Structure 1
Amino acid sequence: MIKQALLGEFLHEAESTRKLLNAIPDSALEWKPSEKNWTTAQLASHIAEVYNWYEDTFNKDVFDMGTYQYDKGDISIAKNIVEKFEENVARAHEALNNWDESTAMNDWRMEMNGNVIFPPMPKIQVVRGFLFNHLYHHRGELIVYLRSTGNNVPGIYGPTADDNSF
């Protein structure tokens, strides 16, 4: 039952993420709001990468960032970021689909080189916070990036100011 609820949200939100990533023009990729922030390309690539964490989060009780490797590919073209997103979201969907939800309350933690980064917490809490909510947070940032660069923002939870049909 938990898995079905998560799958429904996952599919709906993946479509929203897809619309947002597809709205990024190449001309906005190098923009960043300050020296402390990522560029639009880096932020969009990170959003695509979050979907790459599903397999290890659902299938393991320890996510070792010390051994984690990810090839983000060429992020100088928005289309490439979307393609990486599509690859990652397909694998994430499979991981969620095949998940044994009886492990929902298993402790999960993140480590790096033997040091605990995220202390043990129930896997379901990690799925909601580390995977789902983390992604929503970064999508919100990306919306601000799009607005700040004069680009249109697609509707995610209803129409936006760019939707002239309302």
Structure 2
Amino acid sequence: MILQQLKGEFEQEVNSTRKLLQAVPEKDIDYKPSDISWTMGELAQHIATIYYWYVGTLTEDIYDMAADHVKRGEPNDIKATLALFESNVEKARAALNALTEQKLLDNWTMKVGEKVVLGPMPRGIVSRGFLFNHIYHHRGELIVYLRATGNKVPGMYGPTYEETVPVST
């Protein structure tokens, strides 16, 4: 039951994430709101990369980030980031489709080398927090970047302000 809901949410939110990443303009790819922030391109690439983490999170009991290497390409190339996103979504979808209700209850741990950084905790909780909610958090940041640079934000849960206000001529 929970697994079917996760799969449905995944598919709906993949479409929203795709729309948001497609809204990132090349002209503002290097924008960052502060010295300690990522650029818009780095943030978009991070969002695309989270989908890669679904595989290790959903298929391994102990996921070692230090042993896992994803090829990301250049963060200032939004077309490469979109391709990374699509590739990672396919991998994430396959991992999600192979998951069972029982596996959601199994403990999962994230390590970086020998250091435990998350867990152990049930995979279902990790799926919500580390995967789904993590993406939503960074999508919110990306929306702020788009608005701060005067770009349109696509509607993900209905029309956005920009889509409802008549354009002056």
Encode CA deviations 1:29-85: one digit per residue, 9 max, x unaligned.
Answer: 100000100000000000000000111111111110121211111222211111110
Matched to 1:99, the amino acid is L
Encode CA deviations 1:91-130: one digit per residue, 9 max, x unaligned.
Answer: 1111101112211111111111211101211000000000
CA distance in 1, matches of 2:112, 2:84: 25
CA distance in 2, matches of 1:76, 1:21: 13
CA distance in 1, matches of 2:139, 2:25: 16
Q: Shift of the alpha carbon at 1:3?
A: 1.6
Q: Shift of the alpha carbon at 1:9?
A: 0.1
Q: What is the SS of the residue equivalent to 1:139?
A: helix
User: Are 1:127 and 2:121 matched, yes or no?
Assistant: no
1:6 matched residue in structure 2 = 6
Which ranges in structure 1 are unaligned for 5 or more consecutive residues? none
For these two proteins, the number of residue pairs brought into alignment is 166
Matched to 1:96, the amino acid is L
CA distance in 1, matches of 2:57, 2:113: 18
- Change over 3 Å in CA distance of 1:37–1:165 after alignment to 2: closer
Give the 4+ runs in structure 1 shifted more than 4 A.
Answer: none
CA distance in 2, matches of 1:66, 1:75: 21
Q: TM-score, normalised by structure 1?
A: 0.96
CA distance in 2, matches of 1:53, 1:109: 13
* Contact preservation (8 Å) 1:58, 1:95: yes
Q: What is the SS of the residue equivalent to 2:24?
A: coil
Q: TM-score, normalised by structure 2?
A: 0.94
Q: What is the SS of the residue equivalent to 2:35?
A: coil
* Contact preservation (8 Å) 1:108, 1:120: yes
User: Are 1:114 and 2:103 matched, yes or no?
Assistant: no
Q: Identity over aligned residues, as a percent?
A: 48
Q: Which has the higher helix share?
A: 2
Which ranges in structure 2 are unaligned for 5 or more consecutive residues? none
1:94 matched residue in structure 2 = 94
CA RMSD of superposed structures (Å): 1.2
1:151 matched residue in structure 2 = 151
* Contact preservation (8 Å) 1:3, 1:97: no
1:79 matched residue in structure 2 = 79
1:137 matched residue in structure 2 = 137
Matched to 1:13, the amino acid is E
